[in-house]
Structure 1
């Protein structure tokens, strides 16, 4: 059972390894939404995510015999690091089964805490099934990443900190993968103040909790497809589902493209790296139809590998027309390139890349192609440059290519 006494106990226990992440007031998101928006930066935890709370509290509740058997879990990354770190703190063995699609950074960080890593399956659910097989075969003690009341209780300590720091909070936005964080936060929030609205946020391509709530029972999605790998779960937790049914006020789903621009917003305005799953609650701010409310967005983690980060930045800049590539056709004669460069300079744009192709046509008088990748201020600026090129007779075409 998730009780107030257990939440209080967990709050004291997790202080041994987790920092109390102070709320950050966001002037940017507040102005954008007409609310008072605060960020709960769990991406700043030692392991880069909130998962250390539930993992450490769960292990603290095990007896000596259960710990000595060794611990095993399955995770897409953050729970893996939480269990690995907590196991090291307790001096016990940890085996972590991770999907083969897990970013290398998360794999290496998990190993750095002393855990043994087994890569198996394409998604979390397949890795989890394999972890159960290994637990039965080797006698390990299984630590479920979300479908465990003790784990959920540890995660719920986040709500204790939020209400302590912002007693009059109106809304708490919480990411949902399997539902452990959502269970702990919503249950404790309602215990402390039934008027607090707790809204879960899922990727549109992995909305297992939304479908389950609609069906009135735990439902498995046929597949999941999202860049938010930490919340790419097909089946929510059975044991915790009744708590979600009782305490969650609503669910918002967010498409992947909104996570991409949310990444840019957080990096540019708060100088923080937040992984795609942690950005769900930021993207959801624009879906919440309220004004003049105190809202807390839980940033669940910041473990994003550099390759993913690079890709997200490029896609985000292109989505917002901060970078675009345009193809123009020019006669092959001296001065044409200077003419284009002069136009872009006068418009105060910045050329990032040039590609000059003389072989696009056999008629070089009218068919030399110049592809220009330009940095602009946004859509209006981009359109102005495009129209100026059109007026010059350059026959511009937008080209969708990555750098």
Structure 2
């Protein structure tokens, strides 16, 4: 199977006006913080907040009238489901989406709001995919795979045409990898427009499926990654075969890297990224020496993140930066003890957020007590100053 740049150009013309031509803009603040020249392709500005609309729409627009009447089927717990359901509704095409048991209700509800028939079956994506394909065959529909589909990956490649129109000076493009559809389309377009540009994939350490296939070696897969959008155990055959010759490198990053990327987008760029959407920025922050001084294009591929999870990530980043610190103090269980600690913290400009008072820890003397005092600080240096002031009271201290 072959895909040409002309195929991607045709798709760009086909979907033009039906998806958002999202901006690819230079970020002065992220550039300064990473010592690179960072450009962001903000696909989180699509109507369904993710790039998946491009491939889904390109597929739908090429169906015959007979195929449209028979409807489309897919398996997805996230962005592909919403993108396909939204454009199927616009085009009057019946859509059935099989979603795994345990899919967050908000994602089920949002997909359903686009008129799709939702089937909740299967413990995993793979099980749901098998069920969706079986139903599709039984009902004579058209199966729309989220990544292992020629028309879908061609549609995804259209975003790189826009990127290089807006930022022709790019030296490298960082692409999140799950099943490989995005990087396949992106690499074909990028290398056709600018043959010397570097295309680098980014994978989650829990699901390095592209790397495993490239090295032809078994690598353990699985885990509760925050980058669920790229949590794919097996890269697609079609997408891998098209992408592999064109991808210059693949970087593997950890959960903490994704969290830092999400937090940086929120705190520095003032925009929302889901785990997969933050992959490119996370890789730059993890491996700054690889990109210093280069014009780097990041694909912020989606912004669909649960608000509770986002809040947790931002709080965890405060802990990581020592701007939210818990001081554990072993002291006397007597009146005024907590007041003394509060006075010390206050004198150093710390803001007490929470206090836990524990008398039942067995390694604490019966006449003693353990205090966990969570304090908001300015930075790591300020946190250290507060800890030294607390130690000066003579009581044992541990800082988390």
- TM-score between the two structures when normalised by the length of structure 1: 0.93
Counterpart for residue 70 of structure 1:
71
Partner SS, residue 203 of structure 2 = strand
Matched residues in 2 for 1:220 and 1:157: separation? 33
Aligned to 2:30: 29
CA gap of 1:179–1:322, structure 2 versus 1, over 3 A, is same
Q: State whether residues 221 and 234 of structure 1, in contact with CA within 8 Å, keep that contact through their aligned partners in structure 2.
A: no
Q: Distance in 1 between matches of 2:157 and 2:62?
A: 16
- Pairs within 5 Å for 1:4-403: 4-215=5-216, 223-225=221-223, 226-286=225-285, 287=287, 289-360=290-361, 365=367, 367-398=368-399
SS of the equivalent of 1:298 reads strand
Deviations for 1:90-132, whole angstroms, at most 9, x for unmatched residues? 1011111122243322221111111112223343222212211
For residue 221 of structure 1, report the CA deviation from its aligned partner. Answer: 5.8
The 8 Å contact of residues 264 and 313 in structure 1, kept in 2 or not, is answered as yes
Shift in Å, 1:358: 4.5
Give the CA deviation at 1:220: 7.6
Gaps of 5+ in 1: none
Q: Number of residues paired by the alignment?
A: 395
Q: 1:240 deviation in Å?
A: 2.1
Contact 2:37–2:295 (8 Å) recurs in 1: yes
Deviation for aligned residue 1:63: 0.7
Q: CA RMSD in A?
A: 1.9
1:9, CA displacement in angstroms?
1.7
The answer (yes or no) to whether the contact 1:146–1:152 under 8 Å persists in 2 is yes
Per the alignment, do residues 180 and 345 of structure 1 end up closer, same or farther by CA in structure 2, a change over 3 Å counting?
same
* d(CA) in 2 for partners of 1:241, 1:343: 59
Question: What is the rounded CA distance, in whole Å, between the counterparts of 1:198 and 1:85 in structure 2?
Answer: 30
Q: Relative to structure 2, which stretch is displaced further, 335-344 or 231-240?
A: 335-344
TM-score normalised by length of structure 2:
0.93
Q: Deviations over 1:367-391 (max 9, x none)?
A: 1222211112333322332232222
The separation in 1 between residues aligned to 2:369 and 2:101, in whole angstroms, is 46
How far is 1:345 from its partner?
Answer: 1.6
Judged with a 3 Å threshold, the aligned counterparts in structure 2 of structure 1 residues 312 and 100 are, in CA distance, closer, same or farther, namely farther
Mapped contact 1:220–1:235 kept (Cα < 8 A): no
Q: Name the SS of the counterpart of 1:195 in structure 2.
A: coil
SS in 2 for 1:205: coil
Structure 2: gaps of 5 or more residues: none
